[in-house]
Amino acid sequence: MAKVTGPLMSMSASGKLGEAIVFFTWKGLNVVRQWVSPSNPQTTSQGDRRIIIGGTGRAAAEIVVDSAFHQQLIDLELIPNGQTKQSYMVKYILDNYLLNATSYSTELAAIKANAVSDDWATAANTLDVLEFDLDYATIAPYDKRLGLYLMAKAAIALDFTGTPYSIGLSTWTATQINLFVSDLTLP
């Protein structure tokens, strides 16, 4: 990137010149660089992946700092340096449960068929988790229940201690789901 003084015979310039260069201020300096057109092709595979990542991220954002869930992540020393609780949980879920569109569809079917599916929906509503969809994706929208369900599944796999994590996820009732929700929020 070139540093310029008095670009275009002026003391400052900003904006694009044709399809070639762009002038702007950066850290108090007037600079010029080649103009690059941003690319966002919005392919179906990109849409599918964005639904998976975006929906999981929105659910993991419900982990409040200093909550019991967050404290378990710290106590178990699970969050690597440079990562946040949210980025760790998203990566763990993507690496273990949502590898591709097929595994996403399998997990989505599992939560919809879950005996306490309505209780997971109530929990998602309590936390204001929303469905996530893109019009250029081919997979079903990210159901608001799915992210919470997968975080609970991950917590059990990561050896979280105490109730409700000592109980198998397939046998959870509204009681365990409510305890899980309270673990995500501040006491």
Q: What residues make up the domain containing 7?
A: 2-34
Alpha carbon 72 to its chain centroid, in Å, reads: 20
Same domain for 91 and 11, yes or no, is no
> How far is it, in rounded angstroms, from Cα 68 to Cα 165?
12
Average pLDDT over the chain reads: 90
Same domain for 99 and 123, yes or no, is yes
Give 138's contacts (C-beta < 8 A, 6+ positions apart): 44, 47, 48, 101
Same domain for 82 and 133, yes or no, is yes
Mean pLDDT of 113-132: 94
Model pLDDT for residues 36-92, shown as the tens digit of each residue: 887 888 999 999 999 999 999 999 999 999 999 999 999 999 999 989 999 999 999
Number of domains in the chain: 2
Same domain for 12 and 74, yes or no, is no
Paired residues of 25 in beta bridges: 30
Same domain for 72 and 102, yes or no, is yes
Same domain for 30 and 49, yes or no, is no
Q: Which region holds residue 88: left if phi is over 0, alpha if psi is between -120 and 50, else beta? A: alpha
Q: Please give the pLDDT value at position 28.
A: 80
Same domain for 19 and 108, yes or no, is no
Same domain for 60 and 145, yes or no, is yes
Whether residue 164 lies inside any domain: the answer is yes
Same domain for 99 and 156, yes or no, is yes
Model pLDDT for residues 154-168, shown as the tens digit of each residue: 999 999 999 999 999
Same domain for 97 and 134, yes or no, is yes
Q: Please give the pLDDT value at position 1.
A: 57
- Confidence band for 19, pLDDT divided at 50, 70 and 90: confident
Same domain for 64 and 130, yes or no, is yes
Q: What is residue 92's three-state secondary structure?
A: helix
Same domain for 113 and 171, yes or no, is yes
Q: At CA 157, angle to CA 121 and CA 114, rounded to 5? A: 30
Whether residue 39 lies inside any domain: the answer is no
- Confidence band for 148, pLDDT divided at 50, 70 and 90: very high
Helices (H), 44-140: 44-60, 68-75, 85-96, 101-113, 117-126
